[in-house]
Amino acid sequence: MSLSRTLSNAAMFVAVALFSVAATGAANAQAATEIQLSYKDKKFDPAEITAPANTAIVIKLKNLDAKAMEFESKTLKVEKVVAGSSDATINVRAQKPGRYEFFDEYNEKVARGALVVK
Ligand SMILES: [Cu+2]
């Protein structure tokens, strides 16, 4: 095989590899449902969020309170400490239809919300 032939095969391989990375990235971005959620004065806003079933969910949580909180859900099996006045990304696996409660573990009695999967 000539050198130029080898180089053009190599270039083709790189192009195919880059294309599949781009395609995979696009598929993942499309598959996950992103939800904006904020937390202020020990309340989730909105208190109820919804997402489609069988789709990965990404919750973009903004803790607007000065104190840290801990986002937790036993049924969703997630738990994340979020420092005061900061943001966090919470990845939730695809779920079956249902109502999944979450809360701030530091204020479990009052700071509650739910994810409704349809
Ligand atoms: Cu916890």
For 7-66, write each residue's pLDDT tens digit.
Answer: 565 665 555 555 555 555 544 445 799 999 999 999 999 999 999 999 999 999 999 999
Cα-atom radius of gyration of the chain, to the nearest Å?
Answer: 21
Please give the pLDDT value at position 5.
Answer: 60
* pLDDT for 6 beyond 90: no
- Distance between Cα 104 and ligand 1 center (Å): 8
- Distance between Cα 97 and ligand 1 center (Å): 24
pTM assigned to the model: 0.74
Domain range list for the chain: 1-31, 32-117
- Distance between Cα 87 and ligand 1 center (Å): 18
| Rounded Cα–Cα distance for residues 70 and 81 (Å) | 4
Pair of tokens at residue 72? 């937790």
- Distance between Cα 78 and ligand 1 center (Å): 9
CATH 2.60.40.420 fits 32-117, yes or no: yes
